[in-house]
Chains A and B, each alone.
Chain A
Amino acid sequence: MLRKSLFAFATLTTALTFNTAAQAEEVNIYSYRQTFLIEPLLKAFSEQTGIKTNVVFAKKGLLERLEHEGRNSPADILLTSDIGPLFDATEKDLFAPLSSDIVNQNVPAQYRDPEGRWIGLTSRARLIYASKDRVKEGEITSYEELADPKWKGRICTRSGKHTYNLSLIGSMIAHHGEAEAEIWLSAVKENLAQKPQGNDRAQVKAIKEGVCDLALGNSYYFGHMLTNEKEPEQKAWAESVNLVFPNQNDRGTHMNISGAGVTKYAPHPEAAKKLIEFLTQEQAQRYYADANFEFPVRPDTPRSALIEKYMSNFKGDSINLQEVSAQRSAAAKLVDKVGFDN
Chain B
Amino acid sequence: MNTHLISSSTKSFITRPTGASNSTGWYISSWGAALLVALPVLAVFYLALFPEENIWRHLADTVLPVYIITTLQLMIGVASFSVIIGVTTAWLVTMCQFPGKRYFEWALLLPFAVPAYVIAYIYTDLLEFAGPVQGFLRDIFGWQSARDYWFPHIRSLPGAITMLTLVLYPYVYLMSRAAFLEQSMSLKDASRLMGCTPWQSFYRISLPIARPSIAVGLSLVSMETLNDFGTVDYFAVQSMSAGIYDTWLNMGNLGGAAQIATMMMIFVVVLITLERVARAKQKQFHSTDRFKAIQVYPLRGTRGILAFMACLIPILLGFIIPVILLLVYSASHLDQFFTTDFLQHASHSFLLSGGAALLCLVLAVLLTYAKRLNPKRIGLTSAVRFSSLGYALPGAVLAIGVIIPLAAFDNWVDAIMRSQFNLSTGLLLSGTVFAVMFAYCVRFLAVATGAVDSSLSKVTPTMDMAARSLGMSPGKTLLKVHFPLIKGGLLTAMLVVFVDCMKELPATLILRPFNYDTLATFVYQYASDEQLEQCALAALLIVLVGIIPVILLSKSITGTRSAH
Contact = CB atoms under 8 A, between A and B. Distances in A.
Interface stretch (B96-104, B108-116, B192-200, B506-514): B506-514
B427 A329 contact: no
A230 B329 CA distance: 11
A159 B238 CA distance: 11
A64 B403 contact: yes
Contacts of B253: 329
A195 B408 CA distance: 42
B357 to A, nearest CB: 24
Contacts of A211: 129, 145-146
A71 B425 CA distance: 12
A57 interface: yes
Contacts of B59: 336
B396 A60 contact: yes
Interface stretch (B446-454, B477-485, B527-535, B551-559): B527-535
Interface stretch (A106-114, A197-205, A244-252, A285-293): A197-205
Contact of B533 (A35, A197, A230, A233): A230
Contact of A69 (B146, B254, B431, B529): B431
Interface in A271-310: none
A72 B146 contact: no
A210 B148 CA distance: 10
B362 interface: no
Interface residues of B, number: 57
A43 interface: no
A324 to B, nearest CB: 14
Interface string B403-444: 110011011001000000000101100110000000000000
A59 B252 contact: no
Contacts of A339: 62-63, 66
A342 B65 CA distance: 11
Contact of B525 (A34, A65, A159, A210): A34
A328 interface: yes
Interface in B178-221: none
Interface stretch (B87-95, B243-251, B260-268, B297-305): B243-251
A74 B427 contact: yes
Interface residues of A, number: 54
A176 interface: no
Contacts of A333: 55, 58, 62, 251
B502 interface: no
Interface in B492-513: 506, 509-513
A180 interface: no
B514 A61 contact: no
26 contacts: A28-B514, A36-B525, A54-B514, A55-B515, A56-B512, A56-B516, A59-B509, A60-B249, A60-B396, A61-B396, A64-B403, A65-B510, A65-B511, A69-B407, A69-B427, A72-B426, A197-B155, A197-B235, A198-B236, A199-B529, A209-B145, A210-B145, A210-B146, A233-B130, A329-B253, A336-B58
Interface of A: 28, 34-36, 54-62, 64-65, 68-74, 84, 88, 159, 161-163, 166, 195-199, 201-202, 205-206, 209-211, 230-231, 233, 328-329, 332-333, 335-337, 339, 341-342
The 7 lowest CB-CB distance pairs between A and B, nearest first, are: A210-B145, A61-B510, A197-B236, A54-B514, A161-B250, A336-B62, A58-B509
